[in-house]
Structure 1
Amino acid sequence: MQSLDDSKGEEIVSIDLRGKSALADYMVVVSGRSNRHVTAIADHLLRLLKEQGLGNAKVEGLQNGDWVLIDSGDIIVHIFRPEIRSFYNIEKMWTVGDAGDATVH
């Protein structure tokens, strides 16, 4: 979360998936202002994960910069451009009926 905040990520939301999905314990959704900003946020987070010995994260979408998915195992991070995030609205899909499980940072 600190890495995303340091990278000036916007509208950072953490969703608790424990007991809902075997995919991960948490999902984090964040917006970047542009393709370049999305890519920079992802690069910063990946560098930090590697420094902390968690460098085996799976990454998709880094070249395009519209939507980058980083799967570090227990935590999945989605980094979107605002209009792409609005279109897919994945926060709603994972929090319907569970308003207390999403935390905005």
Structure 2
Amino acid sequence: MENTELIQIIANACDDKRAEDIVALDMNEVSLVADYFLICHGNTERQVQAIARGIKESMDERDISVNRIEGMEHGRWVLVDTGDIVCHIFHKDERIYYNLERLWGDAERLQLHFGLEG
């Protein structure tokens, strides 16, 4: 599966849990950490945790392994690592504070499409 297809599937899983301001960044030219970042936020700790669980369930349905999930216990900033794609699921307050979009401002944004089957 292509990474661009996988990031759309992950974005749809976030959208299904009502994640807000879903952004995908192509990190290939700016970082060695991952090929892509997906950044979104929820308004409560419980919603942040639900978004992360939704991504995990979506990956499990497709037999795609998730390398690691970190931050679930607090639900303020959860990382879901699928290898080439790292998902940053923030609580709204943390997203504003850390502002990864500005930090990685040189990264190209990918166009995402919602309401489509992934």
TM-superposed CA distance for 1:11, in Å, is 0.5
RMSD, matched Cα: 1.5
- Aligned runs of 1:1-105 on 2, under 5 Å? 1-95=11-105, 98=106, 101-103=108-110, 105=112
TM-superposed CA distance for 1:63, in Å, is 1.0
Q: Deviations over 1:7-44 (max 9, x none)?
A: 11100011110122222111010011100000000001
Q: What is the distance in 1 between the residues matched to 2:98 and 2:72?
A: 18
- DSSP-derived class of the 2:51 partner: helix
Q: What is the distance in 2 between the residues matched to 1:65 and 1:74?
A: 23
Segments of structure 1 that go 5 or more residues without pairing to the other structure are: none
Identity %: 36
Q: Give every structure 1 segment of 4 or more consecutive aligned residues whose post-TM-superposition deviation is greater than 4 Å.
A: none
Segments of structure 2 that go 5 or more residues without pairing to the other structure are: 1-10, 113-118
Q: What is the distance in 1 between the residues matched to 2:39 and 2:21?
A: 8
Contact 1:11/1:104 (CA < 8 Å) preserved in 2?
A: no
Q: What is the distance in 1 between the residues matched to 2:54 and 2:45?
A: 14
Residue type matched to 1:13 in 2?
Answer: V
TM-score by length of 1: 0.89
Residue-pair matches, total: 102
Contact 1:15/1:102 (CA < 8 Å) preserved in 2?
A: yes
Q: What is the distance in 2 between the residues matched to 1:4 and 1:87?
A: 21
Q: What is the distance in 2 between the residues matched to 1:73 and 1:18?
A: 13
